[in-house]
Structure 1
Amino acid sequence: MELLQQNVAAAGRVIMDAIQAEWEPLSNWELDQRLDRAVEEMIEADLVAQVQEQINSAQQKDSADQTQTPKQSEPKQPVQESALQRSHATEVMEANPTVQYVTNFLQSSNMGYSKNRMSGRARLSMSHTVLLSLTLLSKRVSYRSVSSSFHLEKGNIHRIFFSFCDQVIAQQNRIIQWPTGQEAIQNLLPFSSWHSRSEGLEERGLPRVLGVLGDTRIPIRLPSGKPDSETDAPDAKKLKSEVHPDSWLNLELVCNGDGRFIYCHISKGSESDRGKALTERLQKHPEMLPPGACLIAGVGHPLTEQILTPFSTGRSPQENLYNRALGNHLGRFNQAVADLKERFQKLRYLDMGNFERAKTVVLTACVLHNVFLDMGDVTKGLIEKSAVKDVEELNQDAAGVKMRETVANLLYSSLEEGTL
């Protein structure tokens, strides 16, 4: 009798627990998971229905052809394969070589991409994922407009896009590489492109150039506010000094002679160090630069023996000639930045107040910039004309000042000797 009472009590507790679990409200995490699974099941069912409809249509067409021409016995491809070949994913791949190239790049680089899906994400094909993500990067469009175009829920588009960004960023160290050894030597450029006896000057101390260091601002939304519409979003050229520093990101880059990025550093607007981190790295690892090589940077960056900057104001023929030589290199950097922003127009204003997510988008664009150069896909942007400002020369060390004076004098002496 006592055993029976214990069993009845245990059964009662089980029933009460089940009723409580059924009526208690779901947590935010559980609700999000259930909603995601429901959306995924709906999208998957819709895709299956579309494919089945294509298969049925193809079967009906084949049956009609067999009825009209019963004597023909030509071999036919499997109906399902024919339907898949006409699928939208294949059409996207064939119609857009850029989508195809990036898709192949991700598939070859990230073998586990399809296996590591987040729970609840709509099962888009890789080509659809790439097309959706490149659309968001290359145009200033909202999740809502892309949602209607791809027939996906906004939350899923957000997850798909940032999953794509994560996959691209995983290849950062392979795509944005600092050249070393023979590769670095082959990438060196003459300090001045308009002197005819560079070898003689290099023997006398004129360095060659590995790359150009510079930075640019990427406007973002402050966490505390949001523009009412796209027209309220400030363009990069409209940024003023009085704007809150955290309303933009600092994108610091080094590009080589081909406009390819070999270094990338992103920080908040209030954390700008104008090349300080790279300067310290070069001082600790001087082997990063081949012997007799240097970087070129704009005024305001550290002047060292490894990084040469212009004179803030040319006060002599030597300084003016030196600044002219550096201007050609700095123009190469400005063109690379203009190309980046022209190709990925989302960088003109990132309507997101989360620094880490904004940084993810910017870094994705920088990696893809190099990927597209590897593809041979070149986009030329218009260099923004900025007002000339007096910028103080900061962080000058004695070796850097001496090196710059030596180079300026070498260039001017070659002019007087008629070798320019």
Structure 2
Amino acid sequence: MNSFHFPLSRSDAEALDARDPLAHCRAAFALPEGITYLVGHSLGPATQGALLALQRAADEGWVRDRVSAWNSANWIGLAEQVGAKLARLIGAGERDVLVCDSVSVNLFKLAASAQPLAAARRLVVEEDEFPTDQYILEGLSSMTGVELVRAEAGKGVAELKGGVLVKSLVNYRTGEVADVAGDEAAAQAGGGLIVWDLSHATGVLDVRLKAWGARLAAGCTYKYLNGGPGAPAFVFVDEALAPELASPLPGWMGHAAAFDFKSTYQPKEGVARFAAGTPPILSLAALDGALEIFHGLNMADVQEKARRLSQMCLMLAEKAELKISCPLEADRRGGHISVRHCEGYAVVRAMADWGIEADFRAPDTIRFGLSPLFLSYAEVWDAMQELTEILETRSWDKACYREKAVVT
């Protein structure tokens, strides 16, 4: 790990904080004092903007205008409006992104609509992919009879062979980043399509879907975008491909003239055809407010800080003799790092009692989310020093810390 030498001290971390172009963002978050929140890769904390937007939507829309707010507050156009804001963060056109449904539902819609355009009746997913991605393809395969191939980790494109692959840009467990441009070139050369899962990438990496040649993607908004628990997901469809796709869930909000209430279906143009049911307005409003924090930010700065934070974290984790289970090269990592400990769950529970919140993934992985908008270098340095003390003193070794909660 010779590449992880900087910073070497807390004073080095403080020096980075002093010239951090993102330092002002911390004030926008409603975070309690005394907590180091290293779980932004799982659930981003509330922003002041999100809370204000949610309150405004409730008071001025739901309470004051009621049903007329679909027009007066443009609730009917909110999913596309928020999608246009989000588009900049993933390098997409404003008309190519729609906020709707969940990641699972959106992956189903995209994979099902892409299959008829693929050169082969073949669905591919890697064996270390996030479980919901695997379950969705398994279900789609059983419904349609299309062959499902579970490829080895990193071998999805090689096994594509003209089919449809669902693949995460950032692996949920290891944090490893895929080569989107290279994978897309290979897939398209063979008549295949890739549906990218951007859940662990959006809002923390400098994503450039158009430039990389990506055509289909979905992702969540409650991680680095801080949209709130259960916030709606999003769909990206390249404008050139959209007219060829037919959603397998043609709901009325995806109809070209929803309020004509026709018996036959005619899809909207572009990505909007992937809308299905009535949008969750309060959640959309909160997300709209949360996205305000990204206004004017350079995503290259966001990515650089995330990788510097993870670089420092890995150096200190190695000193604490934790097993590293993520790429060591900074440009191959997303916004979180993964380490392993045989009693990882107990360690995470002990950290929480010290005011350090991280998460655990079975069987032995501890993940630290290095959200660059609200974390400082000195704060993360201190958290890792405290973790080292927890490990050295074995203060995690208590029966109460081994009692599993439902959510880990």
Q: Which has the higher helix share?
A: 1
Give the alignment's TM-score, normalised by structure 2: 0.23
Instruction: Answer 1 or 2: higher relative contact order, Cα 8 Å, separation at least 6.
Output: 2
Give the alignment's TM-score, normalised by structure 1: 0.23
Structure with larger Rg: 1
